[in-house]
Amino acid sequence: MNTMLNVALPKGRLGEKVYAMFEKAGFPCPAIKENNRKLIFENKEVGVRYFWVKPSDVAIYVERGAADVGVAGKDILLEYNPDVYELLDLNIGKCDMAVAAKADFKDDRNKTLTVATKFTNIAKRYYASQGRDIDIIHLNGSIELAPILGLSDVIVDIVETGATLKENKLEVVEKFLPISARLIANKANFKFKYQIIENIMAELKAQTEIK
């Protein structure tokens, strides 16, 4: 019987912070800190198996049960609406979903606004709530290029420090959605592995409250 807890970590800076929290919560796996290209690490003694997943894929692994729990940004959860339990706000990976444009952009409400984004559903919902007609252009990255090259009027994207916008001479029009990292769980596996997940959740919650 597989009694290991399978944890999908978002690869990158956020994932390293998340792993540090799990380690402090009593689920260490020292091999993960070795600098190599392995994607799966396990510590049989404490019963945990970690895998590095592209941040936007964490929710898919958890929804399908390939991972029991994982950490995903609220942006991903709102965009893809995966059928998972959202257990805890980890209070890290904080940023905002924002509209941004070139500094000289003047909005003409009589015209359809062209919006470039990775977050099509979030952008559609936001502009629907404003009663605004938009033309969505879905891009997969380097969204900041779109207004500069005249591909779109504005972008809807994540702003953390604001450095990317600044370096590309764009400005925030409005920050409309605060984002942070959330602990999520597969619905069926949550029942089977309730005890260990509850235990981790309590330990992680204590850490978010200290901050």
Q: Does 158 bind ligand PRP (CB under 6 A)?
A: yes
Cβ 168 to ligand PRP, closest distance in Å?
A: 9
Query: CA 57 to CA 139: how far, in whole Å?
Result: 17
162: contact with ligand PRP by CB under 6 A = yes
Handedness of CA 155, 141, 9, 185 (dihedral sign): positive
CA distance 164 to 146: 13
**Cα 82 to Cα 59, 181, 209, distances in angstroms:** 6, 15, 27
E strand intervals along 139-202: 154-159, 170-179, 181-185
Binding test (CB under 6 A) with ligand PRP, winner from 131, 141, 150, 209 = 141
Residue 173 within binding range of ligand PRP, rule CB under 6 A: no
157 binds ligand PRP (CB under 6 A): yes
Asked whether position 13 contacts ligand PRP by CB under 6 A, the answer is: no
* Least CB distance to ligand PRP at residue 206 (A): 28
Q: Where along the sequence are the contacts to ligand PRP (CB under 6 A)? A: 141, 143, 157-164
